[in-house]
Structure 1
Amino acid sequence: MRNLRRNAPTVNAGSMADIAFLLLIFFLVTTTISADKGILRKLPNKCVEPPCDITINDRNILKVFVNKENKIMIEDDAIIELSELKDILINFIDNNGEKTCDYCNGKQLLTSSDKPSEAIISLKHDAQTNYGMFISVQDEVSKAYLELRTAYAKSVFNKTPEELSKDELEQVKKAYPFILSEVKVERN
């Protein structure tokens, strides 16, 4: 008998790399990458003319702190639920402590802001605060201002915010300016 050498059947894999490369290019070109959006905030203008520091009445600052257990504290002592925050913010901003705001509906408490244009929300959080909780608190602040601005737009212009002209929208923003102070977080 003769010695027959059998060649094992082989698959030509030379074009496999080309096919894989083409598939990779196809998926890169056809895949959409969702762009994450951040929190829309307008930074204050840089102070160019002194005095750049002003004295603010303590009653015009509402201190909100989120600790490492994700609990919300108001004025360093009262622990509240997230669902309560929006109403507390609205009552603080719309207080009309000076009794000079003709569009405010506040209770005119001596412990809350003088008027909406002077109300400052000071937001501080612990370095170990859950990011989701921090964003939820930011959302509640935005909801409070949106509710106040919507009510103002309906009472003054009889329109929703979407229907306002650019000048009317500026007037609404001037009546209820969004003033948020975020305190720098110290990491140990």
Structure 2
Amino acid sequence: MARREIQEINAGSMADIAFLLLIFFLVATTMDIDTGISRLLPPMPEEEELDDDQEIRERNVFVVLINKDDDLFVEDGFYDVSELKEMTKEFFLNPDDDPDLSEKRELTTDFFGTMMVSKGVISLRNDIGTSYGKYIEVQNELAAAVNELRNELCMQRFGRRYDDLDPLNDQEAALIDDAKKVFPMAISEAEPKKVGGN
């Protein structure tokens, strides 16, 4: 009785099919790369601080609203985004002690000594229909205002820009921390909702 030989399966075409499927899924699959705003959240407050109701007076809140048509409403009217940085700086500095701008409190730091700093907070709210581009543009202007204030402070006191300080150098890292205490990135964001338009 003769034995029947088992035929081998031709696997050459299977490799081709697997390669084609791989190429298909690489081409057909979209890879979304999320972009966003780099923010370091403040540390959790101590238990005793949680009980204190931190009431913020109306004059210490700089209100910035963006509606569905990407119009910018700041405090009392509509403005162009290009004006936002200077308005934010003036709100925090309040050089003439304007009662409509932020109040000041005394702060003592190692590098800057005792000085009067703003109690101001920026309240940013956008509409559900606000474009992402406009939201980022407004965020950039607000952050640029705070960074410019830090730069001006460091230049005035030490002859160096805040942006040029090295966080890996212990002394400069302490200076960076003090500059952040004088001009914190105090931006409060609310959930998007309908703030204007239809």
Q: Same fold (TM over 0.5)?
A: yes
Q: Which residues in structure 2 correspond to 1:47-62 (within 5 Å)?
A: 47=45, 48-50=47-49, 51-62=51-62
Q: Does 1:42 align with 2:31?
A: no
Give the TM-score taking structure 2 as reference length.
0.70
Counterpart residue type for residue 86 of structure 1 = K
Count how many residue pairs are aligned between Structure 1 and Structure 2. 160
Question: What is the match of residue 125 of structure 2?
Answer: 124
**Post-superposition, which runs of at least 4 consecutive aligned residues in structure 1 deviate over 4 A?**
12-15, 21-25
Give the TM-score taking structure 1 as reference length.
0.74
Q: Classify the secondary structure of the residue corresponding to 2:122.
A: strand
Question: What is the match of residue 84 of structure 2?
Answer: 85
Structure 1: segments with no counterpart, 5+ residues: 1-11, 96-105
Distance 1:17-1:109 versus aligned 2 partners, 3 A rule: same
Q: Which has the higher contact order (CA 8 A, sep 6+)?
A: 2
Structure 2: segments with no counterpart, 5+ residues: 1-11, 105-116, 167-171
Counterpart residue type for residue 82 of structure 2 = S
Residues 90-138 of structure 1, C-alpha deviations (whole Å, 9 max, x = no match): 100111xxxxxxxxxx232121011344110000111111111111110
Distance 1:49-1:24 versus aligned 2 partners, 3 A rule: same
Shift of residue 174 of structure 1? 1.0
For 1:138 and 1:53, the matched residues in 2 are separated by 27
Q: What value does the CA root-mean-square deviation take over the aligned residues? A: 2.6
Q: Does 1:113 align with 2:65?
A: no
Q: Percent identity?
A: 29
For 1:80 and 1:69, the matched residues in 2 are separated by 13
Residues 163-183 of structure 1, C-alpha deviations (whole Å, 9 max, x = no match): 351011111111111111112
For 1:175 and 1:133, the matched residues in 2 are separated by 28
Distance 1:121-1:16 versus aligned 2 partners, 3 A rule: same
For 1:183 and 1:18, the matched residues in 2 are separated by 49
